Structure 1
Amino acid sequence: MITVRPMKNAETAKKYYTEHLARSEYYSQGCQSSVQWFGKGCARLGLEPGMEVSQEAFECLCDNLHPLTGEKLTVRHRSQDRRVCYDFVANAVKGVSLMVEFGGDHRLVELHERSSCVAMTEAESVAATRIRKGGADGERRTGEIVAARVTHHTSRALDPGLHTHFVVFNATWDSVENRWKALQTREMFDRINLFTQIYRSEMAAGLRKLGYQLRPTAHGFEIDGIPEELLERFSKRRKAILDAEKIVSGKIGKPLSNNARATLAQTTRDWKDLNQSPEEIRQYQLSQITAEELATLRSLVPKTNSSSAPAISQALSQAVEAPAVSAADAVSYARDHLFERKSVVPLYAFQQTAMAYSHGALKMEAIDEELARRSEFVEFEESLTTHEMIRREQEMLGLVNSGIGQSGPINPNVRTEVPLNREQKNALRSVMNSPDWVIGIRGVAGSGKTELLRSIAEGVSQVNRKAVVLAPTTAACDSLRQRGISWAATMQSFLALPEFQQQSRGAVLMVDEAGLISVGDMLQMLRVARTQNCRVALCGDTRQHTSVEAGDALRLLEERSAMQSADLLQNNRQKSHAYREAIDAFAAGNGILGLSRLDAIGALHEENDEASHSLAAGYLSSVTRGKSALIVSPTWREIQSITEDVRGALKEHNKLGQEDTLVENHTSLNWTRAQKRDLRNYRRGLVLGFHRSTAEIARGECLRVLETADQAMIAKKADGTQVKLTRKQADCFDVLESGKLPVATGEKLLLKGNLKTHGLINGKCVEVRAIRADGTLDLVGGRTIPPEFRTFTHGYCVTSMAAQGRTADHVYVSVRADSLAAANLNQFYV
């Protein structure tokens, strides 16, 4: 795989060269590795790619100086927070490293270097710089980098670990402005997974041409025939990370996110031992492998008729047999996986997904050829969509437009007992007098949309029509019921039940939180409404979060259809005038003004590394005063840290039981249908949570995966019964990962699933009163969480998506500097 990390300190970067890059396998005694120039930008500096990098030239570029003349290179040079360079690292799979060191097949080093250069040449093609002249604010591709390349053979744990560093300096040539400028790496970072797949596909093709047999793994491939125990024995660095991950995930009760794993890998990394000679390292490695294992590895080196391994150049020129995965299958998988949740995807993301599906069997050229052959895709501005997605959007817009002015008023003489302000009354009259089949209700957060829906329902009933209120989630329905709309139902139940649709004939369908409805569901609902002669009112706020599935339906209707909307612009939620003005600025899309207003009233604090302690203290203060509190953060990495500190503060002040019980909990992996249908993705121990019954499995049951094969997998029920499952059942369950969550009496838990028989609703927060020996959790208020329901987590700190629709007396928002990329205006607004 290929990873990247920036380096911001020039002196650290210089030390990195002398103590790491230029040292041969981190050995001392003056052993040097060959550091070579790489990139098209080298020639402009009088440097030749492939030639050796001197320490003096490396240090000049670290200081933003021309390596030959010593003159300043880029015009702008910030001494503070300047990124000196970026360390891209291409890592070979462990089997390749073992075959080099123990199998003696040194051709694989050249294959690895060729493959990594192909991937980094692709990375170079999207190198860019910022445009600022004439008031512009954008980027321009330059396609040129200046980098130092070096290959090492060992890992930090001194195991065989073939990898190549590409240290890319923060300078690129802008041919339009005819000068050196700072390198903009956004697209390079965005495409890092694509570069990984390019590297893997080049390696896999080369290995097959050399005669090696490969087997697919969870994230790529391995050389077939190498014992798994041997791979693990020489993966001490990986084991150290996994051990640390196990400790951390045990504390927080859930698997770590990819970002959290990356952070953990950085914080657990040690410098390599610089005090051993090459021979000492070699003997250390040989001491860990038996003669029989050495013989096994050496027997895997492919031989020609002359009983010798073919030369690398000769082997790579040979044709290779057709890959096990076709380009057509890979493209179809990428289509099904990506367009389930996005209506438009970047071309590079599609290429990367298709290549990843092939586990190294397909190169990008094969994917591009298949894309060009297929007529179902529409490519524009390096993005992709499908004709089917466009057709669905156009049908949705057409249905709404065809109903403009085609209906009479619903109830022009509406009367309501619901207390409304002037704006709400105007909106009520607009809806009741509208001649349109579909009307929108556009309301900011806190404007009283629920009260308006109640008054609309009242007005509809006055003319002997039925009011049907729908919401996208069970939690949203529950919230509506608590506010007086007891008959609210989910959109999914309406779409799934023909009898529900028939009972709604002639009704007025009111859809709350319509911004969370996908294009597919919106289109299906509109078709049903047309068939059943229903009127439709769509109530929502496009400035909050949108649908998880593909298509931002409400925004499309607001911007591209003739749908008229009644506006609720007055925020009535915040009691403080100054605080309300800040939230109004966010609602208007002015994040800078919103933040400045929060700062003016002392609601914005810049914290150091102890921020989570401050949040914990604030949360404790709120609950001590009898107030409800909620902390919102954009990433699970932050949430995990904050939760640990909040629980510690609550325990210290006896607001939470002192003794933790480790309770099993399940975390959804959020797989798409395409991922669930690919049986290669499953591994022993994963949990299948069934939300739809099958012939052998009841809704609500959880099964544990035992083994998988090409066409089926075996899973075990709670009673030990084994069941065979195929791709056909993939739409019936969610894939979950099991963990251990520390739970104490008084614990706040956030429910992540539904169990209606016990009154458990996804998105709701509950409090634990007692913990039974069998895992049953008794809740405050009399409900229980039975042992078979395990989809919950701690409820002190959540993402903004989980916070949408929830209310609390005190809300704390935490965004760390390294999480800013995961935050946006919608999240602050929610």
Structure 2
Amino acid sequence: MLSICARHCVLWSIGRCANGCRTRTSHSSPRFPKSRSPTALPPMLKPSVRSAHSREYLGTWGISNGAQPGLFTGTCEGPRCDASGPEKGYTPHARVQQGFLRLLVRAQSALVQRSHHKRRNCAISGARFKRAREVVMASYIKRTIRLNPSQARTLSGFANRRGLSEYALLLKVIDAGFLALLHGTDRETDLAEMASVIGSISERLAERGTSREEASAAEKQIAALDTREAKSHADHKSLRADWRATAEAKGFGEAAQARAIAEAKERARAGELAASPEILAARAVAWAAAKLSERQAVFPASTLAREAGDYAFGRLSHNAISAAIAEAGERGALVPRAYLDRRGAESAGFTTPEAIATEQAMLRLEAAGRGVSVPLASSLAAARTVERAARQSARAGFAWTDDQKRATSALLTSRDRVAAVQGYAGTAKTTTVLATYAREAAKSGLTVTALAPTASAATVLGEALGLRGDTVARHLVSPEAKGLGKGAVWIVDEASMLSARDMAALMASADKAGARLVLVGDVRQLGSVGAGAAFAQLQQAGMATAKLANVVRQTNADTREAVMASIEGHAGKALAALERGGGDVIEGASRDARLATMAQRYVALSPTERVRTLVIEPSRDGRDTLTAMIRQQLVQRGELSSAAVRFEALEAKGLTRAETRQAASYAIGDVVRFARDYADKGVTRGSAYRVERIDPDKAAVALKAADGSSVDWRLRQWGAGKVEVFEC
């Protein structure tokens, strides 16, 4: 039984002496000085000293920061301990010592926490913390040794990150470690033998005719003192090789560690497979939501349920998945939102709190940039610039539309940090509006940067503006994005292809660099691969947007009508307009017949006409088949040689981050390319590795490089978030 009085730092302990007598022991100490918190090693028990009276025993303790030592005394109340009793009856029982040591550690903890509660690092020298997603590890490195180098040990412990504070865990580690050294262990293990401390004590006890099991606490302590040497600082680096050799000899080498880790993972995997339906359903729904939210800001409830079922591999019923979805909605992990498909039909759907936060951050950045910039030109100067550009274009045979003039003037006079141009394909946004704006911005001393989501679009924009185009992803990690200052303009083409996350990152970077941002695109063209229709959302939220609706690329009225009908989603009207304009609409009875007709029509064209002709097939298999048909016919006509050079083309599988962590997402023969180095795994950034073997139970994939080297890739441990996956 322990009772603590914090005011006077007094501990009362009731235990038994080594003779079996009941003891009542008090441990007292002066309070710690307010000006000096304990900042070094926890308190250690000093040797017990026998007093003149046989029923009393004395001891001292101290701490390394110079505080005054305290005194603990104990009195045996049992008849077995008289004035001539054996010496082992005069030392407190181990439990008393343990309780006293714990008291001091806790007292020190209270003072350190009070002084350093706002700091991340612990005040105790030698303390280290490591954090994982759900686990925290606390370590205490003992930096001083007496004689045996193995005493320069590291004490470590793990705990659930949510269940125990880091500092509390560290104190438990120190407490347990020092008590083990003081009193030995309950079991003789190879690890204890490695430490060799207990072995030395046992040898000294054997010389005195006793053993650790039979000796009293006093005899053990005397043996420990006899075997102690003066402390010295340990060189951990020089000792590491010896430790590893000793560990290998004792069966705790790298191979044994790997086996232990593998066994632990197997047990964890078995526990996951044997998890209750409720737990498995919650995991399945969380994984499905993570996968879908990477590509869709709002996803249908039916798709969420289907993906969760795929994750569970038939181990869950529909009712279990539905209940997990409902539970996720109740705790806020899923937020109900109406889902609209391409036809405009509405159904039940969900989004995630993370997606909402990203959208809000993006909209907040755009709104904060309204009215904060100085316009490039006044209204009068902008009008003159537009008229001058329009006259130059007219002399070249291209007349400006009113939409183009208004859009250019709006950009030149804009006071907003973020401005936009919304225009259909073929409205000449780049050659008129953007070219004029970029030219005037450069004249004003601003640095103009051409950006786009894809490399091809960035190249086209850069060539049109006379600049070097760059992708948005590359630009965000470049030094230019961080240090251009307020003299910069970033023009982003195909802005509709940016996800909400990418748009928010781009706007945050522009805000930090003080750069103007011009977003150009068409909300009806290709959307983003990632989640969120960012360009459309910004326009709906009131972002200043100049609009271009007049298509000028097609000069034929029927062709222009076909284009406008396609934009509006009327395929029948578009085909009818093409037929009126002299085009042929040929219907194939089957897929093969359609492809054969396309190949024949293409081959029948002259070489000059082929250069100006596009052959389009929506599917990848159809594209490969059509290409083979065209090549075969050209070979038969003698226009191509029958000799062919075959090469392997890689097609991105387009996996989400959630999918890259699932072994079922891979197939033998897939090619994997990592976006960073993993030196300890033998993986080099940019190198290609082919999938040789897949182990779904262990979430492991065996990879082989071109030089024959193998990599054991554990998807849930490393690399899955920085990888590209291709199929051949």
Q: What TM-score comes out, normalization by structure 2 length? A: 0.54
The share of aligned pairs that are identical, in percent, is: 30
Quick check: 1:378 aligned with 2:335?
yes
Instruction: Work out which of the residue numbers 696, 699, 704 in structure 2 matches 1:716.
Output: 704
SS in 2 for 1:735: strand
Instruction: Work out which of the residue numbers 521, 525, 537 in structure 1 matches 2:502.
Output: 521
Quick check: 1:539 aligned with 2:520?
yes
CA distance 1:409–1:621, change in 2 (3 Å): farther
C-alpha contact 2:287 2:308 (8 A) present in aligned 1: yes
Q: CA deviation at 1:730?
A: 1.4
CA distance 1:324–1:632, change in 2 (3 Å): same
Q: CA deviation at 1:628?
A: 3.0
Q: After TM superposition, list the pairs within 5 Å mapping 1:46-445 onto structure 2.
A: 322=276, 326-374=280-328, 375-380=332-337, 381-412=347-378, 413=381, 415=385, 419-420=392-393, 421-423=400-402, 424-445=404-425
Instruction: Work out which of the residue numbers 672, 677, 686 in structure 2 matches 1:700.
Output: 686
SS in 1 for 2:627: helix
Q: CA deviation at 1:428?
A: 1.4
> C-alpha distance in 1, partners of 2:413/2:605?
46
Q: CA deviation at 1:323?
A: 5.7
C-alpha contact 2:451 2:461 (8 A) present in aligned 1: no
CA distance 1:637–1:324, change in 2 (3 Å): farther
Q: CA deviation at 1:588?
A: 4.6
SS in 2 for 1:483: helix
SS in 2 for 1:663: coil
CA distance 1:372–1:506, change in 2 (3 Å): farther
> C-alpha distance in 1, partners of 2:429/2:515?
21
| Structure 2 residue identity aligned to 1:670 | G
Q: CA deviation at 1:554?
A: 1.0
> C-alpha distance in 1, partners of 2:291/2:684?
27
C-alpha contact 1:504 1:534 (8 A) present in aligned 2: yes
SS in 2 for 1:429: helix
Report the more deviating stretch, 521-530 or 389-398: 389-398
Q: CA deviation at 1:505?
A: 4.5
SS in 1 for 2:466: coil
Question: Over alpha carbons, which structure has the higher Rg?
Answer: 2
> C-alpha distance in 1, partners of 2:557/2:683?
55
| Structure 2 residue identity aligned to 1:702 | A
- 2:558 is matched with 578
Structure 1 residues without counterparts, runs of 5 or longer: 1-319, 739-830
Q: CA deviation at 1:619?
A: 2.2
SS in 1 for 2:649: strand
- 1:511 is matched with 492
Q: CA deviation at 1:326?
A: 1.7
> C-alpha distance in 2, partners of 1:449/1:649?
40
CA distance 1:474–1:353, change in 2 (3 Å): same
CA distance 1:623–1:550, change in 2 (3 Å): farther
> C-alpha distance in 1, partners of 2:575/2:678?
51
Instruction: Work out which of the residue numbers 472, 480, 486 in structure 1 matches 2:467.
Output: 486
C-alpha contact 1:400 1:561 (8 A) present in aligned 2: no
SS in 2 for 1:729: coil
Q: CA deviation at 1:325?
A: 7.3
SS in 2 for 1:730: coil
- 2:653 is matched with 669
Q: CA deviation at 1:648?
A: 2.4
Quick check: 1:561 aligned with 2:541?
yes
Q: CA deviation at 1:403?
A: 2.8
- 2:435 is matched with 454
| Structure 2 residue identity aligned to 1:360 | G
Quick check: 1:650 aligned with 2:634?
yes
| Structure 2 residue identity aligned to 1:617 | Q
Q: What TM-score comes out, normalization by structure 1 length? A: 0.48
> C-alpha distance in 2, partners of 1:426/1:324?
59
Residue deviations 1:177-227, cap 9 Å, x none? xxxxxxxxxxxxxxxxxxxxxxxxxxxxxxxxxxxxxxxxxxxxxxxxxxx
| Structure 2 residue identity aligned to 1:669 | K
C-alpha contact 1:683 1:705 (8 A) present in aligned 2: yes
CA distance 1:407–1:483, change in 2 (3 Å): closer
> C-alpha distance in 2, partners of 1:623/1:359?
55
Structure 2 residues without counterparts, runs of 5 or longer: 1-273, 338-346, 394-399
- 1:729 is matched with 719
Instruction: Work out which of the residue numbers 616, 619, 629 in structure 1 matches 2:599.
Output: 616
Residue deviations 1:473-519, cap 9 Å, x none? 11111222333432221100122235533236441221101111111
Q: CA deviation at 1:458?
A: 0.9
C-alpha contact 1:330 1:358 (8 A) present in aligned 2: yes
SS in 2 for 1:706: strand
C-alpha contact 1:595 1:604 (8 A) present in aligned 2: no
> C-alpha distance in 1, partners of 2:466/2:285?
46
- 1:679 is matched with 663
Q: CA deviation at 1:614?
A: 2.4
Residue deviations 1:43-77, cap 9 Å, x none? xxxxxxxxxxxxxxxxxxxxxxxxxxxxxxxxxxx
Residue deviations 1:620-645, cap 9 Å, x none? 24452252322223333433443332
SS in 1 for 2:615: strand
Taking only aligned residues, the RMSD between alpha carbons, in angstroms, comes to: 2.5
Quick check: 1:605 aligned with 2:585?
yes
Q: CA deviation at 1:394?
A: 2.6
> C-alpha distance in 1, partners of 2:606/2:424?
28
SS in 1 for 2:306: helix
CA distance 1:552–1:578, change in 2 (3 Å): same
> C-alpha distance in 2, partners of 1:484/1:525?
21
Question: What is the total number of aligned residue pairs between the two structures?
Answer: 418
| Structure 2 residue identity aligned to 1:444 | Y
C-alpha contact 1:411 1:460 (8 A) present in aligned 2: no
Report the more deviating stretch, 715-724 or 680-689: 680-689
- 2:456 is matched with 475
> C-alpha distance in 2, partners of 1:498/1:395?
23
CA distance 1:650–1:382, change in 2 (3 Å): same
C-alpha contact 1:468 1:504 (8 A) present in aligned 2: no
> C-alpha distance in 2, partners of 1:694/1:682?
20
> C-alpha distance in 1, partners of 2:466/2:684?
31
> C-alpha distance in 1, partners of 2:368/2:501?
19
Q: CA deviation at 1:718?
A: 0.6
CA distance 1:363–1:650, change in 2 (3 Å): same
Q: CA deviation at 1:377?
A: 0.7
